[in-house]
C-alpha cells in the first residue's frame, strides 16, 4: 500500500476536481484519515506476548534486526524497487502534462495505467507462484524492470501512450516482487517481527523518497531519467538477488 496509495491518489483526485474545490479534496482526506484511525484502533494485536521494554530498548531492537545479514541484504534489494516506483509518481505530472501537453483528466487516464500495473502485480505473483519458483519470479521481475527501463529510454518520448505502455511491464513486475520480498524478509526473523516490519516500511519510504529527487537530476528529459532509474534499479537488484542466493545468506 505504501506504493499503491500514491499511485491511485492522483487518479481519484483528478476524478473529483470537476465536482469540488481544493477544499473539498481536503475534506475527503480528513474523512479518510478518520476512517483509517478508527480501523487501526479496531485491529486486534496478532503478537501474543506484550512488549514491556522502554522506548530506548525498542529502538535498539531495530539495530539488532539490521545485524541479521539475511534480513539486511534482502531489505536493501527489495527497498530499492520503491526508488523506481515513486520516481514515476513524482515525475509523472510533469511528463504527461508539461512534456506531452495533456489535461488533468488526460493525465489521470494514463496515470491509471501505471496504477493498474501496481495493483495487479501481487495478483500476478500469486498466479505465477503456482507454476514456477519464488527465486525465478523475483529474478524475472528485476530483469523485466531493466527491459522496461530500456524501452522507456528508447521510445518513451514518442508519445504518452508509448511511454505508458513501455513503462507498464516494469511497474507490473516491480510490484509483483513485493509479496515474496516481504515474506522472505519476515521469514529471516524468528523474533522481533514488529521491528522487522517497521524497517521494511521505513526503508521503502526512504528509498522511494530518494527516487522522487533523483529523477529530476535528468533535467528536462524526465522520460530518460525515469527509464535510467528503472534500468539501474533492475540491474542492482538482480545482481544483489543473485549474490544473495549464491552465498546462501537467506532461506528462500
Residue 185: all three cell numbers together: 524478509
pTM, full prediction: 0.82
Percent of the chain, pLDDT > 90?
45
Residue 76: all three cell numbers together: 536493501
- Burial class of residue 54, CB neighbours in 10 A (0-12, 13-18, 19+): exposed
| pLDDT interval class at 233 (50, 70, 90) | very high
Backbone angles phi, psi at 46, to 5 degrees: -90, -15
Over the stretch 51-64, which tens digit does the pLDDT of each residue have?
566 667 777 777 77
Residue 4: all three cell numbers together: 499503491
- Burial class of residue 23, CB neighbours in 10 A (0-12, 13-18, 19+): exposed
CB 186 within 8 A of CB 58: no
What is the spatial distance between Cα 133 and Cα 172, in angstroms, rounded to a whole number?
18
Over the stretch 9-45, which tens digit does the pLDDT of each residue have?
777 777 787 788 878 888 988 998 899 899 888 887 6
Over the stretch 209-226, which tens digit does the pLDDT of each residue have?
999 999 998 888 999 999
Calculate the average pLDDT of the chain.
Answer: 86
What is the spatial distance between Cα 148 and Cα 231, in angstroms, rounded to a whole number?
8
> Whose CA is closest to 135, among 242, 232, 46, 17?
242
What is the spatial distance between Cα 128 and Cα 214, in angstroms, rounded to a whole number?
32
pLDDT of res. 244: 87
| pLDDT interval class at 3 (50, 70, 90) | low
| pLDDT interval class at 237 (50, 70, 90) | very high
pLDDT of res. 226: 95
One DSSP character per residue, 88-129 reads HHHHHHIIIIIIS---HHHHHHHHHHHHHHHHHHHHHHHHHT
Q: What is the four-CA torsion angle of 226, 227, 228, 232, rounded to 10 degrees?
A: 100
> Whose CA is closest to 80, among 3, 159, 154, 158?
3
One DSSP character per residue, 133-144 reads -HHHHHHHHHHH
CATH 3.30.70.3270 fits 4-44+55-247, yes or no: no
Amino acid at each position: 500500500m505504501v506504493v499503491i496509495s500514491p499511485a491511485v491518489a492522483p487518479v481519484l483526485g483528478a476524478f473529483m476536481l470537476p465536482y469540488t474545490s481544493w477544499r473539498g479534496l481536503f475534506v475527503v482526506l480528513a474523512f479518510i484519515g478518520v476512517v483509517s484511525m478508527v480501523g487501526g484502533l479496531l485491529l486486534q494485536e496478532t503478537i501474543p506476548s506484550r512488549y514491556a521494554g522502554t522506548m530506548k530498548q525498542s529502538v535498539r531492537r531495530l539495530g539488532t534486526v539490521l545485524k541479521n545479514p539475511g534480513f539486511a541484504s534482502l531489505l536493501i534489494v527489495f527497498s530499492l524497487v520503491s526508488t523506481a516506483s515513486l520516481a514515476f509518481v513524482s515525475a509523472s505530472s510533469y511528463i504527461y502534462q508539461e512534456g506531452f501537453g495533456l489535461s488533468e483528466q488526460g493525465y489521470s487516464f494514463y496515470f491509471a495505467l501505471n496504477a493498474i500495473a501496481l495493483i495487479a502485480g501481487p495478483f500476478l505473483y500469486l498466479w505465477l507462484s503456482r507454476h514456477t519458483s519464488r527465486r525465478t519470479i523475483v529474478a524475472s521481475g528485476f530483469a523485466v524492470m531493466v527491459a522496461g527501463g530500456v524501452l522507456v529510454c528508447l521510445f518513451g518520448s514518442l508519445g504518452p501512450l508509448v511511454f505508458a505502455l513501455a513503462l507498464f511491464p516494469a511497474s507490473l513486475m516491480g510490484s509483483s516482487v513485493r509479496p515474496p520480498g516481504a515474506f522472505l524478509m519476515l521469514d529471516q526473523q524468528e523474533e522481533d517481527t514488529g521491528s522487522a516490519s517497521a524497517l521494511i516500511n521505513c526503508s521503502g519510504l526512504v528509498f522511494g523518497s530518494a527516487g522522487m529527487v533523483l529523477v529530476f537530476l535528468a533535467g528536462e528529459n524526465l522520460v530518460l531519467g525515469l527509464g535510467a532509474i528503472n534500468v539501474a534499479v533492475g540491474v542492482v537488484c538482480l545482481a544483489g538477488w543473485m549474490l544473495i542466493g549464491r552465498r546462501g545468506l537467506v532461506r528462500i
